[in-house]
Structure 1
């Protein structure tokens, strides 16, 4: 039997008071609720303290974590560039979690097993912070995302924060499983970078990178590099054991004379490369595969979930901003869900971009 009981609600309004009151009204009452997740539109960041104050008077929950987003989502709706608030109440076993931030570090005597985290996209060493935090939990894996906003993103860890990382850590009584959807599907094959120069991949398995790319793209796309670089991406990983766990990067240039590929990231010798197709059909198929893997990994039906989607996804990648939550509902019916559209997604010990990460509690 699960140690978690949860309820979620989502509401939209140009007035933060109305959005919050509608969301509170839609929440199912949970006696003994002791942890809340709150995701707010970036249009409401100036009102974050007032939102937290109202949540503490309207619910029994004193501990709240979350972030701002250029869009927020719930179990039945998601919308980018719209003012809204997403809430989730949880009742967890006593002393099974700790809220932490730079102001209130995680206590050393708390045996953290997993964590949901939020971060500031302006923090320059965020990838290193993610790895460090993952090393502090016994599962070696965390999940969450970076706050997003047009101007000043905020994190919430019992209070409004900026900079660094914050979140909530759980002991081993709280079971979590996380899936990552890259929004694309890898083409057959995989290669090792044997020569590179900053942003340029010069050789793959000892051959000119552009030659390998043309072959992987196939005869039609390989003959039309302009179309190939629009439809295909580079997936970088430090290991070749799991071809799904890669970081997607755009191809920003080709050197026809030297056979080099230039991407929007540094690349180094020894990294492994896959080429991926990124379009609406591939994104939907990849998302459904991720949900199937999560369903198989759950020892029992999940109690609730946190979904973090890259701000470049939504209707720009799928049929609508709601497409991802609709697919989640097809597999996990009536699942309490809260989340937001982020400027970076966190899963395992890595910081991603343009992905979707779903963390289930069971």
Structure 2
């Protein structure tokens, strides 16, 4: 990235979309020269997504916008939940440093059509994506995107309580923008060339409470045996006597962790417990598993989440080639006020560790890192 690269961010809330958007524009100030915008709106403004991005495009002169909706949005030191709110980050990047691609709902042909020539010339080191959680093939699309582009794929799934799950993107055919740059139903985002200096980090929201074990018998998402004995026996052993005597208390507190093969950081995917059958000793989790696969159990708590978040932030600072100039943060909807409290504490921790860096982001229904779907995590992308 050139020394002229700059980022400006703004976050605002209110009652009417137009007033909130204008407040963001006032807070942004002069964004002349910026050529890429990141836009996140709370789901209360999902109906107004097209109007919001159209206004921002017209006033700022920035043509290319990416982003989505979340139950909450975040900015530098701020988290806004359960209210109409907008978070914006405007960036100045080399014209050939990035390329948007439209919604991918099946194969990658729309991306090849819109960004194939650019990929051939520049390659991609990172893709920041947004995805529709209602689309059952999102995991497959993410894997195919990472393999085909060679990019490290990060991002998150839209979170919304209504019927609309907007993504800010470009249409599959840019001959006309008449319908507005808003879509849904798959995966969309932006590719960054290797010349754009960027770093990413993943912070877990759960901590292991027992050893890594082996699934020895299972049926789809049901764990029948772990380490050669009933799955529930191993589960009770790991969670301790107090919880084992009242399994109703584990809901929303204890989760299954699936270690990622080949990870040199001990990384794992957290999945919800769906059901416990004391009669058979079976456990059902929110992921299909196979015999021989590794599993561990985890606990969700604020202290371990904060410790891991600070660890991740300190590690990123060491890896950066210079001071961060801007960033995007995608956090799980189960984090934020649901884990850290109501005083924007998660974003305050980030500001304490990396400073007043212009940031935008949202609270997702699933987080994406290295082309995989996570839960209860925070994914930070920093530009420098």
Instruction: Say yes or no: does 1:291 pair with 2:291.
Output: no
Report the equivalent of 1:127: 139
Report the equivalent of 2:42: 41
Q: Deviations over 1:227-286 (max 9, x none)?
A: 456532110134164465222122343344543322233222132112111122232223
Q: Distance in 2 between matches of 1:243 and 1:277?
A: 19
Change (3 A) 1:44 1:250: closer
Q: Distance in 2 between matches of 1:250 and 1:121?
A: 16
Q: Deviations over 1:193-239 (max 9, x none)?
A: 12112222122232332222233224544455444565321101341
Matches within 5 A, 1:145-294: 145-149=156-160, 150-158=162-170, 159-228=181-250, 231-239=253-261, 241-242=263-264, 244-294=266-316
Q: Distance in 1 between matches of 2:155 and 2:48?
A: 23
Q: 2:378 aligns with which of 351, 356, 360?
A: 356
Instruction: Say yes or no: does 1:326 pair with 2:348.
Output: yes
Aligned-pair CA distance for 1:2: 5.3
Q: Distance in 2 between matches of 1:223 and 1:358?
A: 39
Report the equivalent of 1:52: 53
Number of aligned positions between the proteins: 361
Gaps of 5+ in 1: none
Instruction: Say yes or no: does 1:308 pair with 2:308.
Output: no
Gaps of 5+ in 2: 105-109, 171-180
Q: Distance in 2 between matches of 1:165 and 1:283?
A: 28
SS in 2 for 1:151: coil
- Verify the 8 A CA contact 1:8 1:28 in the aligned structure 2: no
Instruction: Say yes or no: does 1:340 pair with 2:352.
Output: no
- Verify the 8 A CA contact 1:80 1:321 in the aligned structure 2: no
Instruction: Say yes or no: does 1:108 pair with 2:116.
Output: yes
TM-score, normalised via structure 1 length: 0.92
Q: Distance in 2 between matches of 1:338 and 1:276?
A: 29
* RMSD value, Cα: 2.2
Q: Distance in 2 between matches of 1:179 and 1:302?
A: 13
Report the equivalent of 1:77: 78
Change (3 A) 1:56 1:251: closer
Deviates more, 1:343-352 or 1:234-243: 234-243
Q: Distance in 2 between matches of 1:214 and 1:268?
A: 21
Deviates more, 1:126-135 or 1:262-271: 262-271
Report the equivalent of 1:23: 24
Change (3 A) 1:53 1:227: closer
Aligned-pair CA distance for 1:146: 1.5
Aligned-pair CA distance for 1:34: 0.8
